[in-house]
Amino acid sequence: MHIHNLSEKNSILNTFISEIRSVSIQKDRMRFRRNIERIGEVLGYELSKALNYKLVSVETPLGTSSINLTDNTIVLCSILRAGVPLHNGLLNYFDTADNAFISAYRHHKKNPESFEIIVEYLACPNLEGKTLILADPMLATGQSMVATFEALKPFGTPKEIHLVSVIGAKEGVSFVENHFDKTTHLWIATIDEKLNEKGYIIPGLGDAGDLAFGEKLQH
C-alpha cells in the first residue's frame, strides 16, 4: 500500500489537526466539523496528484488554452456518521463525483472492551472500473474500513482505490495494509502511536462522531 502521511511535511494542515485534537477547541462543534471538512479538502488536493490526466482545450474569450484535466470517474464513499464532514470536504473538490454512503458502527455487547462492526445501510452506484475514494476520519483498529470494503464488493471492481483518513493508529494502518491490494493508496493527515483498551486512538481526539454530531445512546 502507498501510505501518504501528510504530517511528514509541515503545512497549514497542522493547524487544523491541532484544533480537532484540542480538548477546548474541539468542543465548538461547528468548528470541529469545518476542520474535518478542511482536512478533507487538503487530502483531496494531495490525492488529485495521483489521478490520471488528459490534455484538453478550453476556449477563453480571447483564444484557446490547453490544460491537463483528470479523466478519472470518481465514486466517493464515506462511512456514517463521522465520515460526513470529511465527505463534504472531498466533494468540495471532486464536485462531479458519484457518491456512496454506508453505515458502520461499533456495537458493544456486554463487555465495553469488545465490539463488532455492524453494517446496516448501504447506497452505492456501480463501482466497476471506477476510482473509489473510501473516507473515514478515524482509522483505529481499521475494522470499519475493511468491513465497508467487503460490503462494497458486490457493486463491482474499482480500477483504483484511495483510502482517506484524518487520524490513524499504527495498528489500524497495518490492518488495512494487510487487507487491501498493494496498489491501494492511503491518504492520511497524521498517524498516532497506539490504541487504548477500548479501541480509541491515543492521543487521537476522542470520539469523532460525537464531536461532530453529539453523543449517541448505545442500543
Ligand X SMILES: O=P(O)(O)OC[C@H]1O[C@H](OP(=O)(O)OP(=O)(O)O)[C@H](O)[C@@H]1O
Q: Is 159 in the site for ligand X (CB under 6 A)?
A: no
Q: With CB cut-offs between 5 and 8 Å by kind, which of ligand URA, Mg ion, ligand X, none does residue 152 bind? A: none
* Residue with Cβ nearer ligand X (100 or 117): 117
* Residue with Cβ nearer ligand URA (164 or 201): 201
Cβ burial 146-164 (10 Å sphere, 16+ → b, else e): bbbbebbeebbebebbbbb
* Residue with Cβ nearer Mg ion (1 or 140): 140
Q: With CB cut-offs between 5 and 8 Å by kind, which of ligand X, ligand URA, Mg ion, none does residue 204 bind? A: ligand URA
Closest to 176 (Cα-Cα) out of 208, 205, 140, 152: 140
Binding track, positions 174-213, relative to ligand X; x by CB under 6 A: -------------------------x-------xxx----
Q: Is 135 in the site for ligand X (CB under 6 A)?
A: no
Choose the binding region for ligand URA from 9-17, 124-132, 177-185, 196-204 (rule: CB under 6 A): 196-204
Q: Is 201 in the site for ligand URA (CB under 6 A)?
A: yes
Closest approach, Cβ 105 to Mg ion, in A, equals: 5
Closest to 106 (Cα-Cα) out of 122, 120, 91: 120
Choose the binding region for ligand X from 2-10, 30-38, 57-65, 130-138 (rule: CB under 6 A): 130-138
* Residue with Cβ nearer Mg ion (6 or 79): 79
Which of the residues 29 through 88 are near Mg ion (CB under 5 A)? 79
* Helix residue ranges, H only, the chain: 13-21, 29-48, 83-93, 143-152, 170-179, 208-213
User: Dihedral of the CA atoms 187, 140, 138, 4 (nearest 10)?
Assistant: -10
Between CA 7 and CA 197 the distance in angstroms is 26
Closest approach, Cβ 206 to ligand URA, in A, equals: 6
Closest to 76 (Cα-Cα) out of 13, 163, 134, 37: 134
Closest to 44 (Cα-Cα) out of 8, 97, 2: 97
The residues, ordered by sequence, that sit 6+ positions from 76 with a Cβ below 8 Å of its Cβ are: 87, 90, 91, 94, 97, 98, 99, 100, 133, 135
Question: What does the binding site for ligand URA look like in residue numbers (CB under 6 A)?
Answer: 82, 138, 140, 199-201, 204, 207-209
Question: What does the binding site for Mg ion look like in residue numbers (CB under 5 A)?
Answer: 79
